[in-house]
Amino acid sequence: MTLIVSDLCVDHGAIRAVDHVSMKIEQGQLAAVIGANGAGKTTLLRALSGLTPTTSGTASWQGHNLLHAKPEKLVRFGVSHVSEGKSVIPELSVEENLNLGALWRRNASEAKETRQRIFETFPRLEERSTQLADTLSGGERQMLAIGRALMAKPQLLLLDEPSLGLAPLVIAQIFQSIRDLTTRMGLTVVLVEQNAMSALEIADVGIVLNLGRVAATNSAQSLIADPQVRAAYLGY
Amino acid sequence: MFTFIDTVIIGLTSGAVYSLMAISLVLVWRSTRVINFAQAGQALLSTYIGYSFIGLFDSYWIALFFAIVLGAGVSALIEILFMRTLFKRNTGPIAGVAPIIATLGLLGLIHGLIGIFMGGKEAIIRPPVSNVGYTISGHTLALSPLKLVIVSAVLFLMISLSFIFTKTNIGLALRASAYSPEIARLAGVKVDAIRTLGWALAGAAGAAAGMLQTPNGTGALSPDSLEFSLLLVLGFIAAVIGGLESLVGAVIGGLLLGLVLAFVIMYVSATLPFMTAFLLLLGVLLVRPQGIMGRKVGRRA
**What are the tens digits of pLDDT across the range A25-56?**
999 999 999 988 888 899 999 999 888 889 99
Residue B180 CB: number of other CB atoms within 10 A? 22
Name every chain A residue with its beta carbon within 8 A of the beta carbon of B169. Answer: 99, 103, 106
Spatial separation of the C-alpha atoms in residues A136 and A124, rounded to whole Å: 10
Which pLDDT score is estimated for A95? 94
Tell me what the mean pLDDT of segment A200-221 comes to.
92
Domain of residue B24 covers: 2-287
Name every chain A residue with its beta carbon within 8 A of the beta carbon of B172. Answer: 92, 96, 99-100, 103
Spatial separation of the C-alpha atoms in residues A183 and A187, rounded to whole Å: 7
Does a structural domain hold residue B300? no
Query: Based on the number of CB atoms within 10 Å of its own CB, is A178 exposed (0-12), middle (13-18) or buried (19 or more)?
Result: buried
Least confident window among A92-106, A112-126, B226-240: B226-240
Does a structural domain hold residue B301? no
Closest partner residue to B300 (CB to CB) among A87, A96, A134 is: A134
Which pLDDT score is estimated for A89? 93
Which pLDDT score is estimated for B15? 92
CA distances from residue A167 to A84, A141, A172, A195 in whole angstroms, order as listed:
16, 13, 9, 12
Strand segments (E) across chain B? 123-124, 135-136, 139-140, 220-221
Does a structural domain hold residue B13? yes
Which pLDDT score is estimated for A236? 60
Does a structural domain hold residue B42? yes
Does a structural domain hold residue B294? no
Q: Is B97 helix (H, G, I), strand (E, B) or coil?
A: coil
Question: Does the CB of A12 have a partner CB in chain B at under 8 Å?
Answer: no
- Residue from A91, A109, A134 whose CB has the most chain B CBs within 10 Å, to mutate: A91
Which pLDDT score is estimated for A107? 84
Spatial separation of the C-alpha atoms in residues B99 and A236, rounded to whole Å: 53
Closest partner residue to B299 (CB to CB) among A72, A90, A148 is: A90
Tell me what the mean pLDDT of segment A73-86 comes to.
87
Spatial separation of the C-alpha atoms in residues A102 and A80, rounded to whole Å: 11
Domains of chain A, first to last:
2-88+155-234 (3.40.50.300)
Spatial separation of the C-alpha atoms in residues A118 and A98, rounded to whole Å: 9
Least confident window among A9-13, A63-67, A120-124, B73-77: A63-67
**Average pLDDT for chain A:** 90
Asked if pLDDT for residue A234 goes beyond 80, the answer is no
Name every chain A residue with its beta carbon within 8 A of the beta carbon of B180. Answer: 89
Which pLDDT score is estimated for B178? 85
Does a structural domain hold residue B295? no
Least confident window among A96-105, A200-209, B263-272: B263-272
Does a structural domain hold residue B137? yes
Pairing of strands B123-124, B220-221: antiparallel
Name every chain A residue with its beta carbon within 8 A of the beta carbon of B188. Answer: 72, 75-76, 101, 103-104, 152
Question: Does the CB of B189 have a partner CB in chain A at under 8 Å?
Answer: yes
The answer to whether B233 and B151 are in contact (CB under 8 A) is no
CB environment B153-166: b (16+ within 10 A), e (fewer): bbeebbeebbeebe
Spatial separation of the C-alpha atoms in residues A206 and A216, rounded to whole Å: 8
Which pLDDT score is estimated for B298? 45
Which pLDDT score is estimated for B299? 42
Name which residue leads in pLDDT, A64 or B292: A64
Q: Which residues 87-126 of A are in CB contact (within 8 Å) with B?
A: 87-92, 96, 99-101, 103-104, 106
Kindly determine whether residue A100 and residue B300, on different chains, have CB atoms separated by under 8 Å.
no
CATH number at B64 reads 1.10.3470
Which pLDDT score is estimated for B293? 72
Does a structural domain hold residue B47? yes
- The span from the first CA to the last CA of chain A, in angstroms, equals 37
- Residue from B89, B172, B186 whose CB has the most chain A CBs within 10 Å, to mutate: B186
Name the amino acid, one letter, at B35.
I
Q: Per-residue confidence of chain B (301 residues) as pLDDT tens digits?
A: 788 888 999 899 989 999 999 999 999 998 888 899 999 899 999 999 999 999 899 899 999 999 999 999 999 999 999 988 887 776 677 777 888 889 999 998 998 888 888 877 778 888 888 888 888 877 888 888 898 998 998 889 889 988 998 899 999 999 999 888 889 999 999 999 999 999 999 999 999 999 988 888 778 888 777 677 777 888 989 999 888 888 888 999 999 999 999 999 888 888 887 888 888 888 888 888 777 776 654 443 3
Name the nearest CA neighbour of A207 among A17, A22, A56, A8.
A22
